[in-house]
């Protein structure tokens, strides 16, 4: 956002310099404009390089843990059928979708679609951040948090809670997180 504003400011300043200098010094207008653009461009590129170098690259394990830690803060919040709000209420797939959205993932809205589009795994290979699916026709989804536990939007009576992953027999496991941080179909 700041970079775009800076670009617009630089372009605006350049146009002003061009118009004003053409009116006052038509012979040197082009040279002045060119110098201003080159100087502003160099500063902008230098700023972008510093920003890119400062961005932290997470390992897969760190990303998984950040997703789990983020999800855990919503334990105790309400279950709302059809909801996607992490604070005001979500259903199981809305909860998972909204948690992953905070990390740049765009998951489908419905649990069955989340399963169908995920990379499949076995229960034996579960890692924090994986999704566990339940029910015939995939009617429920939960986020695996490690040590045999999940966090999920369970029912309107219990809300978002932690349970053992095998509180009900899982019908599938999927992930959207891979070694490069993102799963792509």
The residues annotated as belonging to the active site are 92, 140, 152
Residue partners of 19: CB distance under 8 A and separation at least 6: none
DSSP codes joined into one string, 106-133: ---SSHHHHHHHSEEE-GGG--TT-EEE
Q: CA 141 to CA 116: how far, in whole Å? A: 12
DSSP 34: H
Q: CA 127 to CA 140: how far, in whole Å? A: 19
Name the 3-class secondary structure at 147.
Answer: coil
Identify whether the C-beta of residue 35 lies closer than 8 Å to the C-beta of residue 18. no
Radius of gyration from C-alpha coordinates of the chain? 25
Q: How far is CA 179 from CA 41, 119, 158, 183, in A?
A: 36, 12, 34, 8
Element (H, E) at 159: strand 159-164
């Amino acid at each position: 956002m700041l970079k775009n504003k800076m670009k617009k400011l630089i372009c605006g300043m350049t146009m002003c310099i061009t118009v004003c200098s053409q009116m006052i010094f038509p012979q040197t207008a082009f040279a002045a404009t060119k110098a201003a653009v080159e100087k502003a461009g160099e500063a902008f590129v230098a700023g972008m390089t510093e920003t890119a170098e400062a961005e932290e690259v997470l390992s897969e394990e760190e990303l998984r843990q950040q997703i789990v830690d983020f999800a855990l803060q919503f334990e105790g919040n309400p279950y709302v059928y059809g909801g996607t709000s992490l604070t005001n209420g979500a259903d199981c797939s809305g909860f998972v979708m909204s948690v992953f959205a905070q990390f740049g993932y765009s998951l489908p809205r419905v649990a069955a679609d989340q399963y169908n589009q995920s990379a499949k795994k076995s229960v034996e290979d579960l890692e924090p951040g994986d999704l566990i699916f339940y029910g015939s026709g995939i009617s429920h989804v939960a986020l695996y948090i490690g040590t045999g536990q999940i966090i999920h939007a369970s029912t309107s009576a219990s809300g978002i809670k932690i349970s053992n992953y095998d509180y009900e027999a899982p019908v599938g496991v999927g992930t959207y997180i891979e070694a490069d941080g993102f799963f792509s179909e």
